[in-house]
Structure 1
Amino acid sequence: MATWWIVTKKHWRIGLISVAAIMCVTAFWRYETNRMQENTAQSQPTEKRVIHMITSEVKGKSEDGKELEVYRFDPGTVPANDGELVELRIRGVNGKQHDFFIEGMDIKGTIYKNKETVVTFVAKEGIYRIICANHADAAHEGPMIGYIVVD
């Protein structure tokens, strides 16, 4: 009978230690989960910066009288702050259609004449080019490139 009590007492201690360990792990997990949720909530931008751009066209003549034209984004460079929520509004003024993408942001779209295209992103530090695929080089009245500078 005494042997049974010793084994039971031993198992009881192991069980108590196991329960204490599970409680510690659970408390730590809940603490870390709450801390990560608080950090995520704090890192989400609360205000957004609205940036307006347009598509424009510049015309001129070469020395031999040949007419030249080039498309561009105006303004050509726009600033943003790291971590800021940005709403980029691009209005088509010149050119029927401009298919664009922003390097490094996985953002693409189309700007149509007389319409506004809106893209939203959280700015990360760096310099990003917004490129019109229709006017990528001089042979296609380009290059039509703008810059988003994030500090």
Structure 2
Amino acid sequence: MTKFVVVPKRYLQLAAAFLVMLLLMAAVWRLNSDKPASAPVTETQVFQFVTGEFETTDRAGKMLEAYQWSPGSIYVTKGTPVELQITGISGDRHPFEIEGLGIKGEVLKGKTTVVRFTPKEAGTYAIRCLTHADMRSGGPMVGYIFVH
């Protein structure tokens, strides 16, 4: 005697959808399995900075100035080449140093200074203008490079 099992159409549709989903997951896993978990970035990371200035007068009529790097902070990857393109917009000149990296330079108004380096250690490095170091000189003009 022959027995027949009747399977509702809805169950067949669910089984087919489940099978298709498993096949898609296997294909995605296969594509991603060829790549290392943290592939090294070899391209140079390029960042554009400008010098900025804020001016106002206090209630006594005294002129107040404040200078800044814009953007004020960037995030870079350890071991990957970095290029900073710093354009002087405000202020005649901004001699600077990047503390901890041994980098010094100067940005002149209307000119772009290019700084290249490859950070070896993770950490936070300050880019400080030596002219605008404190409140008396329109500072502190400081930006931060976060290396991870």
Whether the TM-score (by the shorter chain) exceeds 0.5 is yes
Q: Give the drift of 1:45.
A: 6.2
Task: Say whether 1:127 aligns with 2:127.
Answer: no
Residue of structure 2 in register with 1:98 after alignment: 94
Q: Write the distance in 2 (CA, Å) between the matches of 1:45 and 1:103.
A: 24
Question: How many residues are aligned here?
Answer: 108
Which residue matches 1:145? 142
Q: Shift of residue 81 of structure 1?
A: 1.2
Unaligned runs of 5+ in 2: 1-39
Distance, in Å, in 2 between the alignment partners of 1:147 and 1:114 is 23
The residue type equivalent to 1:60 in the other structure is T
SS at match of 2:46: strand
Moved over 3 A (4+): none
- Which letter maps to 1:62? D
1:67-88 per-residue CA deviation (whole Å, 9 max, x = no partner) reads 2111110011111111111001
Q: CA RMSD in A?
A: 1.5
Tell me how far apart the structure 1 counterparts of residues 125 and 47 of structure 2 sit (CA, whole Å): 15
CA deviations 1:15-62 (Å, max 9, x no partner) are xxxxxxxxxxxxxxxxxxxxxxxxxxxxx9631010010001011232
Distance in 2 (CA, whole Å) between partners of 1:78 and 1:65 is: 36
Higher helix share: 1
Uncovered stretches (5+) of structure 1, i.e. residues with no partner: 1-43
Q: Distance in 2 between matches of 1:147 and 1:58?
A: 19
Question: Larger radius of gyration, structure 1 or 2?
Answer: 1
- The equivalent of 1:20 in structure 2 is none
Output the TM-score relative to the length of structure 1.
Answer: 0.67
2:106 match? 110
